[in-house]
Amino acid sequence: MTEFVRSQIYNPDITASAGLLLFLLALWLLAGRWIKSRDNLPDVVVRRWTANVRNLLLIVALIGLIMIWAPQLRTFALSLTAVAIALVVATKELILCLSGSALRTFTRAYSVGDYVHVGATRGEVIDYNLLATRLNELEQRDGSFVPTGRKIVLPHSMLFGGAVRAQSQIEGRVPHCFRLTFEPNRNLFSEQAKLQEIADAAQKSVEEAAAAPKKKRTAKPVAPPALIQFGTSEIGKYRIDVTATAVPELVIETENAIACAIGDHVHRMEITAPKGTNPQ
C-alpha cells in the first residue's frame, strides 16, 4: 500500500507537469518585471507586450502539458470516443472561441491599443487571451471615440460573425469628430483662419495642462492641427464640423475646450458688431 501511494505521488508525468508550470511561472514573473522596469515605454506598448508574453507562455504550457500526458490522453480518447464526441458538441462555443483566437493571431486583426468595431460592439483593446478580448467601450458615434467608462468582454467566437474593423492609434492619439451649429447672424466663413488658430490653441492648452504633472515621462509628439469644415444645415444655420486628433483620455476635455473657444469667439463677434449691420 505504501509503495502504491509513493508511486502515485512521484509519478513522472505529474513531476514533469509541475516543473514545466513552475518554469513558465518564473519566466512570466521575470518578463513582467523587466517590461514594467522600462520607463521609456508608453503605457500602450507595456500592456501590449504583457499580453503577448502571457499568451505565448499559456500556449507553451498547453502544448507542453499535452505532450507530457499524450499517452494517457490517447488511451482515454480511444476508450471514451462517445464521451469525446459529446464533449465536442457541448463545448462548441469554447472551440469557436479558441478558433477565433487563432484567427486573430494569424490574421493580426488587432492588437492591444487598437480601436475595433465588431458587430454592434466598439471599444479600445486593453487585453486579450485565448478565449476573449477585453475592451474599454466607446460611444457609438460615427468618426468619434468617446469612452463610456464600461468594460466589455468580447468572446472570440464573435470574430466569425462579420467583418472586424480596426484602427490603430496615431502616435498615441485617435480622431474625434463633433459638430457646432450657429445662427447665421455673422459671416463665419471669413473667420476660418481665426477659428483654426483658436481650435489649435485650445487643444494645445488641454494637453499641456494634462502633461504638467507628468513631466518626467516621455512627451508625446505635437498634435496635428484640427480639421475645420464649414457648411449649412437643412434650415440654413451655419455648421462647423471639427475633427481633432486627441489623446484617448482627453477626448472629452479637448472637445469641450475647442467648442467653448469657438463659441466664445462667435459670441464676441455678435456682441461687438454694430447694430443694424448686415450679417454678410
Structural contact between residues 131 and 155, judged by C-beta atoms closer than 8 angstroms: yes
Most confident by average pLDDT, 69-78, 122-131, 186-195:
122-131
143 by Cβ neighbours in 10 Å (0-12 / 13-18 / 19+) ranks as exposed
190 confidence band (pLDDT: 50, 70, 90): confident
For residue 29, give Cα distances in angstroms to 15, 18, 21, 50. 21, 17, 12, 11
Mean pLDDT of the 177-199 span: 84
DSSP output for 177-215: EEEEEE-TTS--GGGHHHHHHHHHHHHHHHHHHHHGGGT
| Residue 280 pLDDT exceeds 60 | no
**Which pTM value belongs to this model?**
0.52
Q: Where are the beta strands (DSSP E) in the chain?
A: 115-118, 121-128, 132-138, 147-155, 164-167, 174-182, 227-232, 238-246
Mean pLDDT, the chain, whole residue set: 79
Nearest to 103 by CA among 66, 130, 74: 130
Residue predicted with more confidence, 160 or 147: 160
Mean pLDDT of the 235-261 span: 83
> What CA–CA distance (Å, rounded) separates 6 from 95?
37
136 by Cβ neighbours in 10 Å (0-12 / 13-18 / 19+) ranks as middle
Task: List beta partners, residue 116.
Answer: 123, 166
For residue 82, give Cα distances in angstroms to 86, 91, 224. 6, 14, 62
Which of 4-13, 113-122, 171-180, 225-234 comes out lowest in average pLDDT?
4-13
> What CA–CA distance (Å, rounded) separates 176 from 245?
6
Question: Hey, where are the domains in the chain?
Answer: 2-167, 174-272
| Residue 94 pLDDT exceeds 80 | yes
> What CA–CA distance (Å, rounded) separates 47 from 64?
26
| Residue 55 pLDDT exceeds 80 | yes
Residue 59 confidence (pLDDT): 92
Residue predicted with more confidence, 23 or 222: 23
pLDDT tens digits for range 168-182: 666 667 777 888 888
> What CA–CA distance (Å, rounded) separates 36 from 226?
34
Residue 116 CB contacts under 8 Å (≥ 6 apart), including other chains: 109, 110, 122, 123, 125, 133, 135, 164, 165, 166, 167
Most confident by average pLDDT, 94-98, 183-187, 210-214:
94-98
Sheet holding 238-246, edge to edge: 174-182, 238-246, 227-232
Mean pLDDT of the 241-265 span: 83
Query: Which amino acid would we find at residue 156?
Result: H
Tell me the percentage of the chain whose pLDDT exceeds 70.
82
At 234 the three-state DSSP class reads: coil
pLDDT tens digits for range 114-144: 888 888 888 888 888 888 999 988 775 555 5
Which of 16-20, 57-61, 271-275 comes out lowest in average pLDDT?
271-275
Mean pLDDT of the 174-198 span: 83
| Residue 54 pLDDT exceeds 80 | yes
**Residue with the three cell numbers 483593446:** 125
Residue 163 confidence (pLDDT): 81
CATH annotation of 174-272: 3.30.70.380
- The set of cell numbers assigned to 273 is 458688431
